[in-house]
Chain A
Amino acid sequence: MEPIIALRGVTKSWGGGRAAALAEVDLEVSEGQFVCLCGPSGCGKTTVLNLVAGLEFPTAGEVRVRGEAVRGPSPERTVMFQESALFPWLTVRRNVEFPLEVAGVPRAERDARVERYLKMVHLWRSRDSRPHELSGGMRQRAAMARALVSEPQMLLMDEPFAALDAQTRDVLHAELERIWLETRKTVVFVTHNVREAARLGDRVVIFGTRPGRVKRDLTVALPRPRGANDREVATLAAVVERELEIEIEKVIREELDDAWTPAGGAVPGGARSDLGGGI
């Protein structure tokens, strides 16, 4: 089957090619898949999401959605951010209605859809509240309803739960999984939290850094719904964690100076500190 998202040889660099956020990334996502992009900060996972969203454009290579090159943002590819990005001057209901109004959906259908999705995220009772009256978790629920209401081809999520406390996050994981099972949307979910990736994804794509590239691509065949504390999830998270440690150490090594030694010894010392022992 043709992939819904296809990145081919995508390179993205900043400042005239000095720093490469992404180097020659190939990635395909098939319809209905829940893909988690996981990696240390600066690995370009968010850049991948922005490229698919059409908020940024590749320096080289191409990004295609259903075979068509991405030329800009589209309501078919809605994005959820770490902050809810709800409009503070609108009530929850009007916020969720906003994408439908922009698309010119008739009044009656708008009302029905807003109700359906607000109920799906359990916010129907708070429909007339303003965003600043809600808790962080409720704001993200509202943002989720707003992202789903236009019934897009895919949902792009950029660390949507990273700013929430652990309990709220667990609840929202379960909610997201339930909604995903209900709607079977294609989801691209960016996170640096390995447990979250293992908990949610059908597939976990691990990114390496400097330059950003795909390091490993794991298929997760665990049954759903999954629990936050399932042993299989924990085992998988440990595997992902191990992969990431190496990358994270690389980042820290670069950010700090040579005197820092990794505790786990996962990375052999750099050429400067091992006295050329590898010759």
Chain B
Amino acid sequence: MLFLAVLGAIWAAASKGGDAFLLPGPDDVLRALVTATRSGLLPRAVLRSLGRLCLGYSVSLAGGVVLGVCLARVRVVKDTVGVLVLGLQAVPSVCWLPLALLWFGLGEAAIQVVIVLGSLLSITLATESAVNTIPPLLLRAARTMGARGLVLWTRVILPAALPGIVSGARLGWTFAWRSLLAGELLFISGGLGQVLEIGRELHDMALVLGVMAVIVALGLATDRLVFGLVEDRVRRAWGLDRS
């Protein structure tokens, strides 16, 4: 808190002393945010972006976990898709944009594709390593108790890998968030990315900074409140945090 206050003070001082157009002070930014909220531009954009994000992220969460599990347990998949996943993980999601735009047109589908491609692979890799690091003894014990096939999967392997999967999901969320904004910058998308774009076109730096602040706040809030709490609970229940 103190750290943020100091940072704010430095920011205010810098904007007073320097170019108030290129670096508006905190008060200007706050005013811009209030105006944008009153006009309904900002709330609409936030809802739009979050809605989009939820859709794309759900797809990559489901797909990533399934793919990760297959990578960990099915030899053929590991030898074929595994190499591809590792390679593609190095490609920043924005690189998919040109392709996505050509394939799916300037619309919703292209953004979704970018979100999914941006976050799916990190969830996949986290799931794979979570499944691979399950203590073999647990699996042996489960087999001696008669657990096989689907039961072994749903009752033993997935719960045992859950802490790792949750960490991967948390990471995937931040990747999805970044991909989303990259995608939204490009056209009249109605999301936060577009508001950034509007700010740039109108030379309204206060609005641009304001939107960035909103992005940071939303990102932090979901990470801490949603994922942080879930991860904590899981780790405590699994006995991984023994202090």
A residues near B (Cβ < 8 Å) are 53-55, 72-75, 77-79, 81, 83, 85, 87-89, 98-99, 101-103, 130-133, 146, 150
Contact = CB atoms under 8 A, between A and B. Distances in A.
A72 B144 CA distance: 9
Interface in B138-189: 138, 140-141, 143-147, 151, 155-156, 159-160, 162
Contact of B144 (A78, A83, A130, A132): A78
B137 A89 contact: no
B159 A79 contact: no
Nearest to A55: B140
B144 A79 contact: yes
B9 to A, nearest CB: 46
18 contacts: A54-B144, A55-B140, A74-B146, A79-B140, A81-B140, A81-B141, A83-B137, A85-B140, A87-B156, A88-B160, A89-B162, A98-B145, A98-B155, A99-B146, A102-B146, A130-B237, A146-B145, A150-B145
Contacts of B145: 75, 78, 98-99, 102, 146, 150
A75 B138 contact: no
A53 B142 CA distance: 12
Contact of A131 (B140, B141, B144, B239): B239
A89 B238 contact: yes
A74 B162 CA distance: 27
A103 B156 CA distance: 15
Interface string B210-240: 0000000000000000000000000001111
A33 B141 CA distance: 23
Interface-central residue, B143, B155, B162, by most chain A CB under 10 Å:
B143
Contacts of A87: 138, 156, 159-160
B143 A73 contact: yes
Given A83-B137, A132-B242, A133-B239, A89 B159 contact: yes
B236 to A, nearest CB: 9
A20 B140 CA distance: 23
Interface residues of B, number: 20
A81 B140 CA distance: 10
Given A73-B144, A78-B144, A85-B141, A102 B237 contact: no
Given A55-B144, A77-B144, A102-B151, A85 B137 contact: yes
Contacts of A133: 239
Given A73-B144, A89-B162, 4 more contacts: A75-B145, A87-B138, A102-B145, A131-B239
A16 B155 CA distance: 36
A102 B147 contact: yes
B151 A130 contact: no
Contacts of B141: 79, 81, 85
Contacts of B146: 73-75, 99, 102-103, 150
Nearest to B238: A88
Contacts of A79: 140-141, 144
A95 to B, nearest CB: 10
B239 to A, nearest CB: 3
* B143, B145, B240: residue with the most chain A Cβ atoms closer than 10 Å: B145
B136 to A, nearest CB: 10
Contact of A89 (B147, B151, B237, B242): B237
Nearest to B241: A132
A60 B164 CA distance: 41
Contacts of A146: 145
A88 B239 contact: yes
A34 B238 CA distance: 35
Contacts of A88: 160, 238-240
Contacts of B138: 85, 87
> What 8 A-B pairs are tightest by C-beta distance, nearest first?
A132-B239, A85-B141, A75-B146, A99-B145, A79-B144, A73-B143, A73-B144, A89-B159
B163 to A, nearest CB: 9
Nearest to A72: B143
Given A81-B137, A89-B160, A102-B151, A53 B144 contact: yes
Nearest to A149: B145
Contacts of B242: 132
A130 B155 CA distance: 17
A102 B137 CA distance: 18
A81 B155 CA distance: 20
A78 B144 CA distance: 6
A83 B160 CA distance: 16
Contacts of B240: 88
Contacts of A78: 144-145
